[in-house]
Amino acid sequence: MAGRLKRSRMPLKIRAGYELSYDCLQPTLMILTLNVHPSRRHDLLTPDNIHLSPAVPITQYHDGFENTCHVIRSPKGKIAISTDFLIQDTGKPDDVVPDAKQHLLEALPVDTLVYLLGSRYCETDLLSDFAWSKFGAIPWGWSMVQAICDFVQNRMTFGYEYASPTKTAFDAFEEGRGVCRDFAHLAITLCRCMNIPARYCTGYLGDIGVPPNPAPMDFSAWFEVYLGNAWYAFDARHNQPRIGRILIARGRDATDVAIVTSFGPGKLSGFKVMTEEVSDTGSKAVA
């Protein structure tokens, strides 16, 4: 596990946002999944509005996973996409419930069953035999999920230079390296192999309660599992409870929660993400 989590001053305020830019070779349709998830919108202190430059019409909808999405048609040339908002957070770390029980398959709610199936980046068929040989003797439930997170963290080396948009859970398992989405995909796949519903999450995760990371801020990936009639957050990359997760979207894997899906040639030319705790006066809080 990483360094010990410091006790938070709770509740707390977080400033978050992004500045993205794309160069499009022609007018290009885009789907944006960039807003705070509806489950956190009641915590917003200022609006989480998407700003576009140049301004173009924007249409909002909610996808099949209840994520907030927007459709735009970018003109030829550069388009900038940004937001900057404040959100209230409890300051509490992720829940740890060691006695959360694993459900029998026939007792699972039907809306969780899709998160047992293989998906684009989570090839349960390729990892099922390994999963049962590795984790089959471990007590079911929370202990098994934690054992899977421990395994993934120990097997894989994190590095932004290892990022690949086509890397799957099996690729990450074979290579032993990747970014946070690869850690999440591998852990999700192993959980599904062991009959534990697991879904992919993306959002903001600042260095709150932990030593600051000098690397540029990025969106973060983690996952949730269904145990004891509730969904719980796990993080195979950091492998410890964290403070201040701000969910943007959930889905089967990264395919369902891509921040921008473009239907035409385009290049990401600018990328900046911001997530930091702020004091009541609006200045950055000192850890």
State mean pLDDT over 144-164: 97
Residue 1: which pLDDT band, with cuts at 50, 70 and 90?
very low
d(CA 267, CA 283): 34
Q: Which helix (H) or strand (E) covers residue 80, if one does?
A: strand 77-89
At residue 78, the pLDDT reads 96
Task: Indicate which CATH number applies to the domain containing 133.
Answer: 3.10.620.30
At residue 215, the pLDDT reads 85
State mean pLDDT over 90-116: 97
Residues in contact with 30: Cβ distance below 8 Å, sequence separation at least 6, in sequence order: 22, 71, 72, 73, 74, 260, 261, 262, 263, 266
Q: Do residue 209 and residue 243 come from a single domain? A: yes
Q: For the packed helices 124-135 and 142-155, what is the interaxial angle rounded to 10 degrees?
A: 110
Q: Could you tell me which of 284, 196, 270 has the C-alpha nearest to residue 23?
A: 270
State mean pLDDT over 244-272: 96
**Is 185's pLDDT higher than 90?**
yes
Domain span at residue 38 reads 12-91+259-278
Residues in contact with 51: Cβ distance below 8 Å, sequence separation at least 6, in sequence order: 80, 81, 82, 83
Task: Indicate which CATH number applies to the domain containing 68.
Answer: 2.60.40.2250
Decide if 232 contacts 277 (C-beta within 8 A). Answer: no
**Is 5's pLDDT higher than 70?**
no
Supply the mean pLDDT for the chain: 94
**Can you give the pTM of this predicted structure?**
0.93
Residue with tokens 């471990």, as numbered in its chain = 138
State mean pLDDT over 222-228: 98
Q: Do residue 210 and residue 274 come from a single domain? A: no
Q: Do residue 243 and residue 268 come from a single domain? A: no
Q: Do residue 232 and residue 273 come from a single domain? A: no
Q: Could you tell me which of 254, 143, 246 has the C-alpha nearest to residue 191?
A: 143
d(CA 79, CA 69): 18
Q: Do residue 54 and residue 126 come from a single domain? A: no
Look at residue 7 and tell me if it is in a domain. Answer: no
At residue 214, the pLDDT reads 87
Assign residue 121 a region (left: φ > 0; alpha: ψ between -120 and 50; beta: otherwise): alpha
Residue 2: which pLDDT band, with cuts at 50, 70 and 90?
very low
Q: Do residue 115 and residue 217 come from a single domain? A: yes
Buried b (16+ CB within 10 A) or exposed e, 83-97: bebbbebebebbeee
Look at residue 3 and tell me if it is in a domain. Answer: no
Decide if 64 contacts 101 (C-beta within 8 A). Answer: no
Residue 7: which pLDDT band, with cuts at 50, 70 and 90?
low
State mean pLDDT over 144-167: 96
Q: Do residue 274 and residue 210 come from a single domain? A: no
Residue 286: which pLDDT band, with cuts at 50, 70 and 90?
very low
